[in-house]
């Protein structure tokens, strides 16, 4: 195997092994309830949720995306999105870190060689966390012995501060895209806490800087060639999960804020409730299509899954913003009080939406439907 299995030794206790989807949902709800209690305080004072992320790992929830071939739970993609939504409802920043972790695991599942998958999925089962990132254009990757010499920095990515491993996209000369699996605590890897967004303030976004690091060939995997890759579609679905969680959190605070005045604005409340329910249905539909594409990764199935995941991500982002706006429209002065910190839902929704390439997704959706119409 080489050096991959020696990259990291975790100090956390071994993670619990979740045995069913029902247990996963129950665990997520319990954790989300605990996370929600101090979520506002963490946002106000930018207290990074290291303890909460460790609780997430020890619970076994970070390992539910490990495939059954590597002793994991065979979780549907719809459930994975719902788990992210539940956690994000408790704390949107923790939900985003979990989103990025699951995306990195999907990249590992679809790209890596069997030895690398076996080594790293074993670490995930023990509670290790991942963050997906991308090296900037100035990064250098040159051949060196049985591997490559790496230098450069990644773009900011959620969850790096909490990660044990970084799955970093890069390019091997002349133009071969790959993913490098780097140990977060390697001496050659420096992680800089440089995130200053006004929303998602505690999501662990940071920049990884590598001065000079040798990366063994067995810690590198090729990137997929399809523009409709399952990993990209899953990323969109999980991004939708975070937005849905933000919408639900805003909705909960909205209902608490308006209290017994709700009877006077029932139609407007009903509109928001229906939109949240429709968004949840869109996530479930996209999840089912992704399940089909994973089992039968033909171009048509992958394109269909990408279309539905794009629709879910766009709809969920709009629903999160709309529900957060409703806090101010319907709850009035109550929601404007700075002490309640209810504006964090709008800030979280707005910042999270920035990472969604909406125009590109809409354009691709138009192309896809045009092809279907002309078929």
Q: Output the pLDDT for position 55.
A: 97
**Share of residues in the chain with pLDDT > 90 (%):** 82
- Summarize the confidence of residues 105-125 as an average pLDDT: 96
Q: Output the pLDDT for position 359.
A: 96
Whether 333 has a pLDDT exceeding 80, the answer reads no
Confidence grade of residue 10 (pLDDT, cut at 50, 70, 90): low
- CA-to-CA distance for 273 and 269, rounded, in angstroms? 6
Q: Is the peptide bond before 174 cis (omega within 30 degrees of 0)?
A: yes
- Summarize the confidence of residues 49-73 as an average pLDDT: 97
pLDDT one-digit tens code per residue, 234-253: 999 999 999 999 999 999 99
Confidence grade of residue 92 (pLDDT, cut at 50, 70, 90): very high
- CA-to-CA distance for 275 and 319, rounded, in angstroms? 7
Q: Is residue 191 helix, strand or coil?
A: strand
Q: Output the pLDDT for position 339.
A: 61
- Assigned token pair, 180: 């490098």
Confidence grade of residue 336 (pLDDT, cut at 50, 70, 90): low
Q: Output the pLDDT for position 337.
A: 54
Q: Return all residues near 24 (Cβ < 8 A) that are at least 6 apart.
A: 18, 61, 64, 73, 75, 79, 83
Residues 92/43, Cβ–Cβ less than 8 Å: no
pLDDT one-digit tens code per residue, 200-232: 999 999 999 999 999 999 999 998 766 788 999
What spatial distance separates the first Cα and last Cα of the chain, rounded to whole Å?
48
| pTM assigned to the model | 0.94
Q: Is residue 136 helix, strand or coil?
A: coil
């Amino acid at each position: 195997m080489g050096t991959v299995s020696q990259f990291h030794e975790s100090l956390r206790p071994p993670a619990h092994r979740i045995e069913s989807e029902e247990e996963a949902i129950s665990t997520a709800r319990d954790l989300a309830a605990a996370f929600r209690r101090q979520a506002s305080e963490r946002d106000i004072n930018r207290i990074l949720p290291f303890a909460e992320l460790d609780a997430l790992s020890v619970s076994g929830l970070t390992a539910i995306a490990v495939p059954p071939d590597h002793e994991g739970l065979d979780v549907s993609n719809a459930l994975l999105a719902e788990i992210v939504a539940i956690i994000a409802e408790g704390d949107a920043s923790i939900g985003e870190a979990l989103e990025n972790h699951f995306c990195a695991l999907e990249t590992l599942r679809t790209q890596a060689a069997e030895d690398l998958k076996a080594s790293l999925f074993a670490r995930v089962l023990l509670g290790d966390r991942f963050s997906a990132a991308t090296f900037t254009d100035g990064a250098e990757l040159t051949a060196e012995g049985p591997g490559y010499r790496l230098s450069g920095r990644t773009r900011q990515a959620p969850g790096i501060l909490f990660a044990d491993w970084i799955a970093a996209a890069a390019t091997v000369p002349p133009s071969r895209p790959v993913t490098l699996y780097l140990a977060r605590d390697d001496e050659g890897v420096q992680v800089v806490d440089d995130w200053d967004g006004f929303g998602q303030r505690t999501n662990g976004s940071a920049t990884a800087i590598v001065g000079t690091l040798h990366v063994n060939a067995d810690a590198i995997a090729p990137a997929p060639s399809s523009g409709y890759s399952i990993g990209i579609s899953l990323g969109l679905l999980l991004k939708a999960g975070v937005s849905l969680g933000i919408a639900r959190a805003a909705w909960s605070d909205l209902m608490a804020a308006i209290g017994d005045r709700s009877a006077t604005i029932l139609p407007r409340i009903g509109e928001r409730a229906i939109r949240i329910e429709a968004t949840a249905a869109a996530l479930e539909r996209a999840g089912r299509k992704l399940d089909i594409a994973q089992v039968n990764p033909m171009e048509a199935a992958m394109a269909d899954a990408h279309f539905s995941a794009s629709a879910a991500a766009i709809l969920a982002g709009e629903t999160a913003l709309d529900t957060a706006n409703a806090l101010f429209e319907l709850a009035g002065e109550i929601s404007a009080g700075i002490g309640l910190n209810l504006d964090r839902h709008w800030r979280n929704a707005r910042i999270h939406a920035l990472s969604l390439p909406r125009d590109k997704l809409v354009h691709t959706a138009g192309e896809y439907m045009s092809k279907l119409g002309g078929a």
